[in-house]
A and B are shown apart, each in its own frame.
Chain A
Amino acid sequence: SQQGEEDPQALSIQEGENATMNCSYKTSINNLQWYRQNSGRGLVHLILIRSNEREKHSGRLRVTLDTSKKSSSLLITASRAADTASYFCATGAPNFGNEKLTFGTGTRLTIIP
C-alpha cells in the first residue's frame, strides 16, 4: 500500500516559475526521499532528508520536513522544461537496517516553455 500522498496530483507552470509539491505520510520514518521519474522510465534519486533534519538544499531543490505533521515539501526553483516529470516522495522505515521505501502516489509536473 502507498505510505502517503503527494499534493497536487498534477501541476502545470510556466518555465522559470517555482514549483512546490507536498507529501504527507502516515507512520514514523527514518528518512524521506524525493525521486523523479520521466515518462516510462526508472526513478532518479533527487534528495534525502533525515528525520532529525528540517530543511535541506541541493542545487535548485529545497526540501522541508515536518515530522510533527508527517509532511514534506519539495520546491524546485527557476523551473526548466527538463524538469517535466513525475515526482515521488518515499519514506524509509524507522528500523535501522531496513531501507525498503514506501512511495507516495506522485505529482505530475509539466513545465510550459
Chain B
Amino acid sequence: DTGVSQNPRHKITKRGQNVTFRCDPISEHNRLYWYRQTLGQGPEFLTYFQNEAQLEKSRLLSDRFSAERPKGSFSTLEIQRTEQGDSAMYLCASSLNAGRRSLYEQYFGPGTRLTVT
C-alpha cells in the first residue's frame, strides 16, 4: 500500500499529557498537510510543509502544537499539555507540487482519533 499512513489510529490520553502523531506521505509527494476534524464538521487546516520547510500555520495551531518534517519525508504533530478541546480526528494529507507536474489533489491518510479524558 503506497498511500498516506498515520500512526497511531487511535489515542486516548489524560488531560495534561503530551501526545505525538506520525504521518508518512506518499513517497514522491513533496507537500504534506495537517488538518483537524471535529465531529460533524469538515476538516480545518492546521499547517503544511513543502519538503522540510513549514510554509504556513493556521491560527488554530496554538503554541501547544508543534509540527516537524525533519527530512522532508514523514512528519510528526505534537500536542503538549493536552486539553479536552483537543479531542478530534487529526488528518494528514500529501500532494505533489512541482511546476507542470503539480497535482492539486490531496491524498488523505486514515487519521488519528484523539480522545482527551
Which A residues lie within 8 Å of B109 (CB)? 42
User: Of all chain A residues, which has the CB nearest B107?
Assistant: A45
17 A-B pairs with C-beta separation under 8 A? A1-B44, A2-B41, A33-B106, A42-B108, A42-B109, A88-B43, A90-B42, A97-B97, A99-B97, A100-B33, A100-B45, A101-B33, A101-B35, A101-B45, A103-B44, A105-B40, A106-B40
Cross-interface CB contact of B95 among A1, A40, A88, A99, cutoff 8 Å: A99
Are the C-beta atoms of B42 and A104 separated by less than 8 Å?
yes
Q: Is A43 an interface residue (CB 8 A)?
A: yes
A99 to B33, CA, bound (A): 10
Interface of B is mostly: strand
Count of A residues near B, CB < 8 Å?
Answer: 26
In the assembled complex, B26 has its CB within 8 A of some CB on chain A: no
- B114 CB to nearest A CB, Å: 13
Asked if B44 and A44 sit within 8 Å, CB to CB, the answer is no
- A11 and B4 alpha carbons, distance in the complex (Å): 30
| Min C-beta distance of A59 to chain B, whole Å | 16
Residues of B near A48 (CB, < 8 A) are 104-105
